[in-house]
Amino acid sequence: MLSTLLAFLVALTAVIFVHEYGHYRAALWFRVRVLRFSIGFGKPLLRWHRLQPGLNLPTEFTLCAIPMGGFVKMLDESDQDVTPGESAHAFNRQTLGARSCIVAAGPLANLLLTLFLYAFLQWMGSQQASAIIATPLAGSIAESAGLRTGDLVQKFATQADEWQTVQSLQHLMSLIDVAVHDQENFKLEVTSASSNQPKSIAISLSDLDQDVARPGSSRIGMTGAYSKPYIVKVMKEGPAAKAGILEGDLVLKVDGRLVKDAQHLIQLIRSASAVQVWEIHRADGKALLLSVLPEIREVEGKRISKINAVVGRDPETVWVQHGFLDGLEIALSTVLVQSKMTFLAVGKLITTNTGWQQLSGPLTMAEYAGKTAEQGWRPFVQFVALISLSIGLLNLLPIPILDGGHLMYYLWESVTGSAPSKEWLERLQVMGVSMVALMMFAALFNDVLRWLA
């Protein structure tokens, strides 16, 4: 519990600091007086002062008790008295372009942090799953095109580009995600698992799944890395335990059907509606027939059959490391694809009845922070990058009180030649606070529901 809380605080504080530091550095650039730089809200735990570079006037820095945000307070004639000698350094006296840059600098800093962290992971290198594919979903584009369980994908190309070597499954998935994002058909050079012979696979996106919030690789039916259908862990009191399944069992057949790999076994379990007969090979060499009754649960509005067991051992891996430019290019592609998926999710929040169920709050964030920290520094860095991207994009939404709302005011000012009236600003402020409060309540409500499930 303590490690989860600590990981969450480290991730959140780092992301908030970068956001507010973006505003702060932009204010310094335009010689705007910064009165206070705060991480968190409420009672200050730490407080110190430093002279602002260029102006030699004091700025107060604080670290506060509630680490759920931060702010940079600048000199502004709209909410305080300003001496004539300092008025030139007031925020409201700056040009429209300068004010826009200062406001946009926070979200931009978050996006740059995300880009750097993703690139850093590419530069450092890591063990990644080999590009040996698991069983594609039945009836999917991938299966219809000819991809089969255990095929090794060696090269990738869109119709307009030359072949490039596929270094890992993660690399392949990112290439596919970009191609699907750009709606470009592509082709793969594959070594067949059945014949060990090379073959060329053409992927057409004409029948593409229209759920644009999902990754492109998922939309064409790719399910992950190839792994033999071993039972890795069995939960107590679940259907697997009741059926007599043990850790280390290799599942050969389900209802007489040959099990190709772990993903195929998962598909068979999820499609179950009655008792299944499993043929297994036990670690001691025994062959057994077991009756398994998967348990049907409702997950995010869908009925899914489960056996309360972990299926599939760790896949075969390779070491992958990219140079400076290649790592930066991969990171940029990742940021662009994830940004589009985030905005599409926001669109579903507004246009569908179930979109609000996808919101996650501080409890879920803390849980993921703890889990990724336990898995190692790389998963934790990926988590921080994703949180930074989410906060950066969220703040760009045209919602009053957020940075995007202020940019919306400046857009209005650039078109009409005057800022919105004080009355309208007050109304929009109330609307913005209400919208953010509603989103926070929905996110926390979802957290509680997930915790109780």
Taking alpha carbons only, the member of 330, 324, 254 closest to residue 291 is 254
**Which residues participate in catalysis according to the annotation?**
20
d(Cα 162, Cα 176) in Å, to the nearest integer? Answer: 15
d(Cα 398, Cα 151) in Å, to the nearest integer? Answer: 46
Taking alpha carbons only, the member of 59, 5, 49 closest to residue 28 is 59
Question: End-to-end alpha-carbon separation of the chain, Å?
Answer: 19
d(Cα 301, Cα 174) in Å, to the nearest integer? Answer: 28
Residue 429 makes CB contacts below 8 A (sequence gap 6+) with: 400, 401
Indicate the pairing of strand 198-203 with strand 231-234: unpaired
150: its two tokens: 């255990």
**Which string of DSSP letters, residue by residue, matches 183-239?**
T--EEEEEE-TTT--EEEEEE--TT----TTS-HHHHTT---B----BEEEE-TTSH
d(Cα 54, Cα 37) in Å, to the nearest integer? Answer: 17
Q: H or E segment at 251? A: strand 250-254
35 contacts 45 by C-beta, under 8 angstroms: no
Phi-psi region of 224 (alpha: psi -120 to 50; beta: other; left: phi over 0): left
Phi-psi region of 279 (alpha: psi -120 to 50; beta: other; left: phi over 0): beta
99: its two tokens: 């004010």
d(Cα 199, Cα 201) in Å, to the nearest integer? Answer: 7
